Amino acid sequence: MRIITYNVNGIRSAVKKGFIDWLKTDPADIICLQEIKANLPDVPVEAIREAGYETFAFPAQKKGYSGVAILTKISPDRVFYGSGEEQSDAEGRVIGATFGSVTVINAYFPSGTSGDDRQAYKYVWLDGFLQFLQPMVAEGRSLIVCGDYNICHKPIDIHDPVRNKNYTGFLPEERAWMDQFFEAGFVDSFRVFNNVPGRYTWWSNFANARGNNKGWRIDYINVSLPLKDKLLGADIYPHIVHSDHCPAFLEIGI
C-alpha cells in the first residue's frame, strides 16, 4: 500500500497547477488531502475519478476554509467523517477510512498563526485528538495517522530552530505534545528511513524560502506500533509544486 499526505492549499488552485495530471502518474494508492478549501460541489470529483481515484471529502462549514479528503484506488470498507468534537468537525479537520485491518486517519491540525485565541484552541484540539486516538491504540488497531500537523517535532525538522523557537509550530508546548503522541504508541515513519537535515514539507511564500530550502517538516504519515515492522519506505517530494506544501510518501507492506 502506497500512501501520500498532501496539503494542497486549495484543491481548485492545485488543479490549475497540474494536480490532476500528477494524479494520472499513479503517485499512490491512497492520497490524503488537507486544506481542500472547497464545498462538495466544487471538488472536481469527475476529473479525479478519471485519474483512477474515488473521492471522499469532508469540507468545512465555512466556505473556502480548511477541509480534508481521501482519494483512493482501493475501495474502503468504511469511511467516517469527523472526530466527534463539534468545532473541529465544523472546520472539517478529520476524515478516516478502514481498509481491511488498517484504519487511515487524515487530519488537518489547527495552525495557531492567526492569534492567541487560535493558539489556545490548537492546544485544546491536540488534547482532544489524542483522546480520540487512544481507545483505538489501546485496542491494538493498525492505524496510519497522516496529515498537516502544523508542528515541527525536532530541530532537524526546521531550517532555523533557534530563531523559530518562539513561533507557533515550533513552540515547546507543541513539541511536547508530539513527544506525548509518539510515546502513546506511534512511529514517525519518515524518520525510520531518513535522518538527514534539510528535508521539509512546507515553505513560506516569502523571500524565496522554497528556492533556498528554508522550510519546515510539518506534514507526517505516522503509524501505530503494530505497523512498524511493515514499513517499507518513506520519502518527501519537494519537486511537486501545486502548493506551498509538498507531498510526503509512505509504502507499507499490508
The residues that are catalytic are 148
Long-range contacts of residues 127-133, Cβ cutoff 8 Å, at least 24 apart: 127/177, 128/83, 128/85, 128/88, 129/83, 129/88, 129/94, 130/177, 130/180, 130/181, 130/184, 132/83, 132/84, 132/85, 132/94, 133/105, 133/184
Amino acid type, 21: D
Virtual CA dihedral for 199, 200, 206, 210, nearest 10 degrees?
A: 50
Grid look-up 492549499 returns 9
d(CA 217, CA 80): 27
d(CA 107, CA 33): 9
Q: Does residue 32 contact residue 146 with C-beta atoms inside 8 Å?
A: yes
Q: Which residues contact 230 (CB under 8 A, 6 or more apart)?
A: 252, 253, 254
C-alpha 20 chain-centroid distance: 19
Q: Does residue 195 contact residue 201 with C-beta atoms inside 8 Å?
A: no
Q: Which helix (H) or strand (E) holds 23?
A: helix 19-23
Q: How far apart are the first and last CA of the chain?
A: 6
